[in-house]
Amino acid sequence: MTKKIAVIDGNSLMHRAYHAVPPTMNAPDGTPTNAVFGFLAMLLKFIDMAKPDALVCAFDAGKPAFRMEALEQYKAQRPPMDDELRVQFPIMEELLGAMNVPVVKVKGWEGDDILGTIAARDEELGFETLLVTGDKDAYQLASGATRIVTTKKGVTDIAIYGPDQVEERYGVTPAQFPDFLGLMGDSSDNIPGVPGIGAKGAAKLLQRFGTMEGIYEHLSELKGKQLENLRDNEDAAFLSRDIATIVRDLDFALDLEDAAFPSFSAEAVEEAFGRYQLTSHLARVLKLVGAEATRAEARLVWEPVVAGEAAGPLVADALRAGETVGVALMEPEQVSLFDNAVTGAFATSRGTAVLAGDEALALFAQVVREGSFAVLDAKEAVHRVFPADTSLPALVTADDLAAMDAFDLGLAGYVLNSSVSAYTLEALMEAHGGGALPEAEGDEARAAVAAAAARHLVEPLRAAMEREGSLKAYRDIDLPLVGVLATMERTGAAIDVERLAEMGRAAQAELDELSQRIFELAGEPFNIDSPKQLARILFEVLGLTPLKKNQRGYSTDASVLKELAKESELPALVLRYREQAKLKSTYLDALPRMRAGDGRVHTRFNETVTTTGRLSSSDPNLQNIPVRTELGRRIRACFVPLEPGELFLSADYSQIELRLLAHLSGDEHLVAAFNSGADFHASTAARVFGLPVEEVTPELRSRAKAVNFGIVYGQQAYGLSQSLDIPFGEAKEMIDRYFEAYPGVRSYLDDTVARAAEDGFAETMFGRKRHIPELKARNAQQRGFGERTAMNHPMQGSAADIIKMAMNEVDRRLREEGLAAKLMIQVHDELDFSVPEGEVERLAALVREVMENVVSLAVPLDVDVSWGPTWAEAH
DNA sequence: TCAACCTGCAA
DNA sequence: TATTGCAGGTTGA
Residue A579 has pLDDT above 70, yes or no: yes
pLDDT higher for A846 or A551?
A: A846
**Strand C at less than 7 A from CB of A608:** no
Average pLDDT over chain A reads: 91
Question: What pLDDT, on the 0 to 100 scale, is given for residue A410?
Answer: 96
**Strand C at less than 7 A from CB of A785:** yes
**Nearest-nucleotide field for A583 (CA, C1'):** B9
CA–CA distance, A8 with A149 (Å, rounded to integer): 9
Can you give the distance from the CA of residue A798 to the C1' of nucleotide C3 in angstroms? 14
Strand (E) or helix (H) holding A355: strand A351-356
Can you give the distance from the CA of residue A648 to the C1' of nucleotide C3 in angstroms? 30
Cα dist from A219 to A175, A193, A201, A206, A826, whole Å: 21, 17, 14, 13, 83
Can you give the distance from the CA of residue A752 to the C1' of nucleotide C5 in angstroms? 24
**Strand C at less than 7 A from CB of A706:** yes
CA dihedral A592, A594, A598, A600 (to 10 degrees): -70
Give strand C nucleotides closer than 7 A to any protein Cβ: 1-12
Say what angle helices A728-741 and A680-689 make with each other, to 10 degrees.
100
CA–CA distance, A443 with A823 (Å, rounded to integer): 37
pLDDT band at A24 (very low <50, low <70, confident <90, very high): low
Residue A762 has pLDDT above 70, yes or no: yes
pLDDT, mean of residues A158-171:
86
pLDDT band at A408 (very low <50, low <70, confident <90, very high): very high
Question: What pLDDT, on the 0 to 100 scale, is given for residue A142?
Answer: 94
**Strand B at less than 7 A from CB of A550:** yes
Question: What pLDDT, on the 0 to 100 scale, is given for residue A298?
Answer: 38
With contact defined as beta carbons under 8 Å apart, do A806 and A592 qualify? no
Strands A553-554 and A616-618: unpaired
Tell me which DSSP letter residue A390 carries.
Answer: T
**Strand C at less than 7 A from CB of A784:** yes
Can you give the distance from the CA of residue A530 to the C1' of nucleotide C9 in angstroms? 8
**Nearest-nucleotide field for A722 (CA, C1'):** C1
pLDDT, mean of residues A655-666:
96
Q: Is A536 left (phi over 0), alpha (psi -120 to 50) or beta?
A: alpha
3-state secondary structure of A824: strand
**Nearest-nucleotide field for A604 (CA, C1'):** C6
Residue positions counted in chain A? 875
Residue A158 has pLDDT above 90, yes or no: no
**Nearest-nucleotide field for A585 (CA, C1'):** C8
Question: What pLDDT, on the 0 to 100 scale, is given for residue A538?
Answer: 93
Handedness of CA A44, A49, A55, A58 (dihedral sign): negative
Residue A502 has pLDDT above 70, yes or no: yes
Question: What pLDDT, on the 0 to 100 scale, is given for residue A150?
Answer: 82
With contact defined as beta carbons under 8 Å apart, do A796 and A575 qualify? no
Strand arrangement of the beta sheet that strand A128-132 belongs to: A103-105, A54-59, A4-9, A128-132, A146-151, A158-161
Residue A404 has pLDDT above 70, yes or no: yes
Can you give the distance from the CA of residue A238 to the C1' of nucleotide B6 in angstroms? 59
Q: Nearest CA to A411 among A487, A342, A470?
A: A470
pLDDT higher for A80 or A728?
A: A728
CA–CA distance, A222 with A230 (Å, rounded to integer): 9
CA–CA distance, A796 with A791 (Å, rounded to integer): 9
Question: What pLDDT, on the 0 to 100 scale, is given for residue A749?
Answer: 96
Burial class (CB in 10 A: 0-12, 13-18, 19+), A226: middle
**Strand B at less than 7 A from CB of A450:** no
Q: Nearest CA to A715 among A740, A732, A698?
A: A732
Can you give the distance from the CA of residue A723 to the C1' of nucleotide C7 in angstroms? 24
Nearest protein residue to the C1' atom of C8, measured from CA: A586
Question: What pLDDT, on the 0 to 100 scale, is given for residue A809?
Answer: 97
Residue type, A147: R
Q: Nearest CA to A368 among A380, A356, A357?
A: A380
CA–CA distance, A490 with A386 (Å, rounded to integer): 7
**Nearest-nucleotide field for A584 (CA, C1'):** C8
Residue A12 has pLDDT above 70, yes or no: yes
Nearest protein residue to the C1' atom of C3, measured from CA: A713
**Strand B at less than 7 A from CB of A558:** yes
Residue A363 has pLDDT above 70, yes or no: yes
Can you give the distance from the CA of residue A78 to the C1' of nucleotide C12 in angstroms? 47
Long-range own/partner contacts, residues A852-856 (CB < 8 A, 24 or more apart)? A854/A802, A854/A805, A854/A806, A854/A809, A855/A765, A855/A802, A855/A805
Can you give the distance from the CA of residue A53 to the C1' of nucleotide B2 in angstroms? 42
pLDDT band at A152 (very low <50, low <70, confident <90, very high): low
Taking the CB of residue A498, how many other CB atoms lie within 10 A of it? 10
**Nearest-nucleotide field for A715 (CA, C1'):** C2
Nearest protein residue to the C1' atom of B8, measured from CA: A582
Can you give the distance from the CA of residue A616 to the C1' of nucleotide B4 in angstroms? 23
**Nearest-nucleotide field for A629 (CA, C1'):** B9
Nearest protein residue to the C1' atom of C7, measured from CA: A586
**Strand B at less than 7 A from CB of A618:** no
Can you give the distance from the CA of residue A558 to the C1' of nucleotide C12 in angstroms? 25
Nearest protein residue to the C1' atom of C9, measured from CA: A529
**Nearest-nucleotide field for A728 (CA, C1'):** C1
Q: What does the pLDDT look like over A281-339, one tens digit per residue?
A: 787 888 887 776 654 443 688 888 999 999 999 999 999 999 999 999 998 765 555 55
Give strand B nucleotides closer than 7 A to any protein Cβ: 5-11
Burial class (CB in 10 A: 0-12, 13-18, 19+), A808: buried
CA–CA distance, A400 with A369 (Å, rounded to integer): 6
Give backbone dihedrals phi and psi of A117, rounded to 5 degrees, phi first: -65, -45
Can you give the distance from the CA of residue A77 to the C1' of nucleotide B8 in angstroms? 50
With contact defined as beta carbons under 8 Å apart, do A529 and A537 qualify? no
Residue type, A489: E
**Strand C at less than 7 A from CB of A550:** no
Q: Nearest CA to A260 among A441, A569, A4?
A: A4
CA dihedral A174, A176, A179, A181 (to 10 degrees): -40
Can you give the distance from the CA of residue A502 to the C1' of nucleotide C5 in angstroms? 29
Question: What pLDDT, on the 0 to 100 scale, is given for residue A776?
Answer: 86
Handedness of CA A693, A699, A700, A701 (dihedral sign): positive
Give backbone dihedrals phi and psi of A826, rounded to 5 degrees, phi first: -125, 130
**Strand C at less than 7 A from CB of A424:** no
3-state secondary structure of A651: strand
CA–CA distance, A665 with A658 (Å, rounded to integer): 10
pLDDT, mean of residues A851-869:
96
Hits for CB < 7 Å against strand C across A residues 584-603:
585-586, 589-590
pLDDT, mean of residues A609-621:
93
Residue A839 has pLDDT above 90, yes or no: yes
Residues 6+ apart with CB under 8 A from A115: A7, A9, A58, A131, A133, A138, A141, A246
Can you give the distance from the CA of residue A590 to the C1' of nucleotide C4 in angstroms? 23
Q: What does the pLDDT look like over A185-240, one tens digit per residue?
A: 887 777 788 888 888 889 889 989 999 999 998 888 888 888 888 888 888 899 99
Cα dist from A756 to A746, A771, A772, A794, whole Å: 16, 9, 8, 11
Can you give the distance from the CA of residue A579 to the C1' of nucleotide C6 in angstroms? 17
Tell me which DSSP letter residue A177 carries.
Answer: H
Q: What does the pLDDT look like over A628-644, one tens digit per residue?
A: 889 989 999 999 999 99
Can you give the distance from the CA of residue A792 to the C1' of nucleotide C2 in angstroms? 10
pLDDT, mean of residues A538-543:
93
**Strand B at less than 7 A from CB of A555:** yes
**Strand B at less than 7 A from CB of A659:** no
Can you give the distance from the CA of residue A200 to the C1' of nucleotide B9 in angstroms? 57
**Strand B at less than 7 A from CB of A624:** yes
pLDDT band at A434 (very low <50, low <70, confident <90, very high): confident
**Strand B at less than 7 A from CB of A73:** no
Residue type, A260: A
**Strand B at less than 7 A from CB of A625:** yes
Name the percent of chain A lying above pLDDT 70: 97
**Strand B at less than 7 A from CB of A632:** yes
**Strand B at less than 7 A from CB of A623:** yes
**Strand C at less than 7 A from CB of A2:** no
Burial class (CB in 10 A: 0-12, 13-18, 19+), A339: exposed
**Strand C at less than 7 A from CB of A624:** yes
With contact defined as beta carbons under 8 Å apart, do A150 and A133 qualify? yes
Can you give the distance from the CA of residue A512 to the C1' of nucleotide B10 in angstroms? 28
Question: What pLDDT, on the 0 to 100 scale, is given for residue A70?
Answer: 75
Question: What pLDDT, on the 0 to 100 scale, is given for residue A156?
Answer: 57
Q: Is A290 left (phi over 0), alpha (psi -120 to 50) or beta?
A: left
Residue type, A254: L
pLDDT band at A76 (very low <50, low <70, confident <90, very high): confident
CA–CA distance, A465 with A413 (Å, rounded to integer): 9
Q: Is A435 left (phi over 0), alpha (psi -120 to 50) or beta?
A: left
Strand (E) or helix (H) holding A300: none
Can you give the distance from the CA of residue A750 to the C1' of nucleotide C3 in angstroms? 17
With contact defined as beta carbons under 8 Å apart, do A359 and A343 qualify? no
Residues 6+ apart with CB under 8 A from A58: A7, A8, A9, A10, A103, A104, A105, A111, A114, A115, A118
Cα dist from A738 to A34, A687, A724, whole Å: 40, 8, 15
Hits for CB < 7 Å against strand B across A residues 390-429:
none
